[in-house]
C-alpha cells in the first residue's frame, strides 16, 4: 500500500485544537477505554482503493477529531491536537490462509482480537479493517473501530454514513425513518396535572436514588450472563448476531399495540431468561423470581426527531451537536419462576411498563448533573471510576440504532447488512440493535469461555418465535 497522507493546514490545526468533552475524558481514562466496532457486510468482494478514497474524501472531513490526537496542555487539560494522518497506519487489510470456502471462524477470531486491542494514543483514534474473505453471509467485510471519546453512537454512525451512498442514486442523500414522539393523553385539569407531577417526582426520586445505589454499593447477582469478575473488560469477547424480519417484528407490534422498542425489549428480556434457565436448569428455578439482573438502556439525549446532516451537527447551537450526548437508565429485567410456563407476551408488557415508568422521570437529567458536579469537584478520573462502577455492577448494556431506509454502498461496494458493538465495557454481555433493509439485527458481545454465545443466539431466536406465535394467535 502506498503511503497516503492527509496534510494539515493552519486553518485545520486551529479547528482541531479544542478541549476534549467531559464524557470523552471519561471514556479515555485509567478506568475506562471504550470503543465502537461497526461491521459492514458486502455481497461483493471489497474494492480497497475505493474504500480508501471514501475515507480520505468523505470520512476525514466530517470532524477534526478524526485527524487529531488527545494531549494534555500545560494546565493538564485534555485537548484535541490536529496531526497529519497517514492512512496506511489506519487502514488494515489482514491476510488469512488461502483455500477455504468460508472464513467465518477467522473473522470471528479477528473481531475478538480487534475488540481487545487498544487504539494507539499516538495517532487519531480510529481504524478501518478490510476483510476480503467470504463468509456464509457476505463476500467481504469492512470493520471500523472508533474510540468512544470521538463521539457517541449517533455522531460516529453519522460519520460512517457520510462514507456511504444510496445504491439506487448516489447523488441523493440517505433517508432515515423519523422518530415518532410518544404522545400521551393528558387532561388539562388541575387535579390530573398535579397527580402527573407527583408521579414524575416520585419516579425521579426513586430512579435517581436507585441509580446511586447501583453505581456505588448494589451489584447484580452472579448469573450465567454476569460473571462479576474484576477486569472482565480485558477478557476476550465473542461477537455474534441474530437477524429478525422487521415485518414480523411490526406484526407483533401491531397485534399488541406497543412500540417496536417494546417488542425488542421483550425479546431480549425473555431471551435472557431462557438462556439462564438453560444454563442453570432446575437448580436456578427456586431463585428465578428473586434474581437481580439489571440492564442499562442507553438513550440519545438530543431533542431531535431524525438524523441531522453533518453540516447541522457542526453548526453552533445545533440541536444535534457532534459529541457525546447520551444518558442511561437502570431497568430491572423481569423474571418468572418458570420460563417454560410463563406467557411470552408478559415480557413485552412488563418491559413496556418498566421502561415507561423510567422514561416518565427526570432521573437521566439528575444523573447528568451529578456527573458534572463530580467532575468539577473531583476531576474526570474520579467521575470515570463512578461510571465504571455503574457499568460493572449491572448485567448488560442495551443500545439501538435506526439504519438508512435505502440499500447503501461504500465505494461501490453494496452493503447487505451492518451492525455495531460497544467494546471495552466491564460487563459480560453487551447488546446492540440495528434496523436496515427490512431486517432487525441483534448483535451481542459476550465474555468468551463464560457465556455460551451459540446458546444465547438460540435463546434469542426461541424468545422471538414464542413471542411472535403468541401474538399472532391473539384475537
Chunked mean pLDDT (size 10), the chain, 475 residues: 51 64 89 95 88 86 91 85 93 94 96 96 95 94 94 80 86 78 55 76 84 90 95 96 96 94 95 93 62 85 48 53 65 82 91 84 84 90 94 94 89 90 96 94 97 98 97 83
- Please state the domain extents for the chain: 5-166, 190-235+246-401+444-473
| CA-angle at 152, arms to 219 and 157, nearest 5° | 125
Helices 453-473 and 246-256: angle between axes, nearest 10 degrees = 50
Say what the pLDDT of residue 288 is.
55
**CA atoms within 13 A of residue 474's CA, in its CB half-sphere:** 17
- Domain 5-166: which topology? Chloramphenicol Acetyltransferase (3.30.559)
Distance, in Å, from the CA atom of 158 to the CA atom of 121, rounded to the nearest integer, reads: 23
Distance, in Å, from the CA atom of 316 to the CA atom of 326, rounded to the nearest integer, reads: 19
Distance, in Å, from the CA atom of 115 to the CA atom of 22, rounded to the nearest integer, reads: 24
Please report the DSSP string for 69-127 in residue order. Answer: EEEE-TTS-EEEEE--EEHHHHEE-----SS-S--HHHHHHHHHHHHHSPPPTTS-SEE
Specify whether the CB–CB gap between 260 and 250 falls below 8 A: yes
The residue with cell 415507561 is: 356
Say what the pLDDT of residue 475 is.
63
Task: Provide the grid cell at 161.
Answer: 454514513
Indicate the DSSP class of residue 59. I
Specify whether the CB–CB gap between 128 and 97 falls below 8 A: no
Helices 345-359 and 453-473: angle between axes, nearest 10 degrees = 100
Rg, the chain, Cα only: 22
Say what the pLDDT of residue 108 is.
96
Say what the pLDDT of residue 152 is.
77
Helices 345-359 and 190-216: angle between axes, nearest 10 degrees = 100
Beta strands in 382-428 (DSSP E): 396-402, 408-410, 413-423
Instruction: Report the SS3 class of residue 450.
Output: coil
Say what the pLDDT of residue 73 is.
82
Say what the pLDDT of residue 160 is.
84
Q: Is the pTM of this model over 0.85?
A: yes
Distance, in Å, from the CA atom of 447 to the CA atom of 237, rounded to the nearest integer, reads: 5
Say what the pLDDT of residue 100 is.
94
Number of Cβ atoms within 10 Å of the Cβ of 257: 8
Closest CA to 462 of 264, 322, 279, 267: 267
Say what the pLDDT of residue 238 is.
97
Distance, in Å, from the CA atom of 200 to the CA atom of 202, rounded to the nearest integer, reads: 6
Distance, in Å, from the CA atom of 133 to the CA atom of 95, rounded to the nearest integer, reads: 9
Distance, in Å, from the CA atom of 317 to the CA atom of 312, rounded to the nearest integer, reads: 9
Closest CA to 146 of 28, 228, 14, 43: 28
Task: Provide the grid cell at 30.
Answer: 485509567
Say what the pLDDT of residue 302 is.
44
Distance, in Å, from the CA atom of 323 to the CA atom of 235, rounded to the nearest integer, reads: 28
Distance, in Å, from the CA atom of 141 to the CA atom of 134, rounded to the nearest integer, reads: 8
Please report the DSSP string for 189-248 in residue order. Answer: -HHHHHHHHHHHHHHHHHHHHHHHHHHHT-PPPPBTTB---TTGGGS-EEEEEEEEEHHH
Distance, in Å, from the CA atom of 393 to the CA atom of 293, rounded to the nearest integer, reads: 10
Amino acid at each position: 500500500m502506498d503511503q497516503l497522507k492527509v496534510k494539515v493546514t493552519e486553518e485545520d490545526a486551529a479547528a482541531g485544537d479544542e478541549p476534549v468533552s467531559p464524557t470523552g475524558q471519561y471514556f479515555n481514562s485509567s478506568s475506562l477505554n471504550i470503543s465502537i466496532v461497526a461491521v459492514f457486510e458486502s455481497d461483493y468482494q471489497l474494492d480497497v482503493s475505493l474504500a480508501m478514497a471514501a475515507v480520505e474524501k468523505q470520512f476525514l472531513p466530517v470532524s477534526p477529531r478524526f485527524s487529531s490526537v488527545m494531549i494534555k496542555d500545560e494546565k493538564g487539560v485534555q485537548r484535541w491536537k490536529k496531526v497529519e494522518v497517514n492512512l496506511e497506519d489506519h487502514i488494515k487489510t489482514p491476510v488469512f490462509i488461502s483455500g477455504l470456502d468460508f472464513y467465518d471462524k477467522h473473522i470471528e477470531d479477528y473481531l475478538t482480537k480487534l475488540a481487545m486491542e487498544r487504539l494507539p494514543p499516538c495517532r487519531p483514534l480510529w481504524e478501518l479493517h478490510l476483510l476480503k474473505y467470504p463468509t456464509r453471509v457476505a463476500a467481504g467485510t469492512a470493520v471500523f473501530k472508533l474510540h468512544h471519546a470521538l463521539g457517541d453512537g449517533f455522531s460516529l454512525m453519522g460519520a460512517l454514513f457520510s462514507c456511504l451512498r444510496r445504491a439506487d442514486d448516489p447523488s441523493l442523500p440517505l433517508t432515515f425513518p423519523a422518530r415518532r414522539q410518544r404522545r400521551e393523553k393528558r387532561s388539562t385539569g388541575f387535579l390530573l396535572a398535579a397527580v402527573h407531577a407527583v408521579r414524575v417526582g416520585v419516579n425521579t426520586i426513586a430512579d435517581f436514588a436507585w441509580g446511586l445505589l447501583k453505581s456505588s454499593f448494589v451489584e447484580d447477582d452472579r448469573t450465567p450472563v454476569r460473571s462479576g469478575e474484576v477486569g472482565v473488560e480485558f477478557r476476550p469477547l465473542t461477537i455474534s448476531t441474530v437477524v429478525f424480519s422487521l415485518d414480523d417484528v411490526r406484526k407483533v407490534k401491531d397485534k399488541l399495540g406497543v412500540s417496536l422498542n417494546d417488542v425488542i425489549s421483550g425479546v431480549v428480556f425473555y431471551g435472557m431468561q431462557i438462556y439462564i434457565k438453560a444454563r442453570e436448569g432446575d437448580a436456578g428455578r427456586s431463585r428465578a423470581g428473586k434474581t437481580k439482573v439489571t440492564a442499562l438502556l442507553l438513550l440519545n439525549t438530543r431533542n431531535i426527531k431524525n438524523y441531522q446532516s453533518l453540516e447541522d451537527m457542526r453548526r453552533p447551537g445545533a440541536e444535534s451537536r457532534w459529541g457525546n450526548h447520551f444518558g442511561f437508565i437502570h431497568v430491572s429485567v423481569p423474571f418468572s419462576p418458570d420460563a417454560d410456563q410463563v406467557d411470552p407476551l408478559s415480557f413485552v408488557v412488563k418491559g413496556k411498563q418498566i421502561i415507561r415508568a423510567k422514561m416518565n422521570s427526570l432521573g437521566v437529567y439528575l444523573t447528568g448533573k451529578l456527573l458534572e458536579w463530580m467532575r468539577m469537584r473531583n476531576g474526570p478520573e474520579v467521575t470515570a471510576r463512578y461510571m465504571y462502577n455503574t457499568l460493572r455492577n449491572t448485567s448488560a448494556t442495551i443500545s439501538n440504532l435506526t439504519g438508512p431506509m435505502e440499500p447503501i454502498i461504500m465505494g461501490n461496494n453494496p452493503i447487505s447488512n451492518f451492525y455495531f458493538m460497544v467494546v471495552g465495557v466491564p460487563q459480560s454481555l453487551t447488546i446492540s440493535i440495528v434496523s436496515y433493509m427490512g431486517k432487525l439485527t441483534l448483535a451481542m458481545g459476550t465474555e468468551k469461555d463464560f457465556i455460551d454465545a451459540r446458546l444465547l443466539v438460540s435463546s434469542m431466536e426461541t424468545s422471538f418465535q414464542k413471542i411472535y406465535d403468541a401474538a399472532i394467535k391473539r384475537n
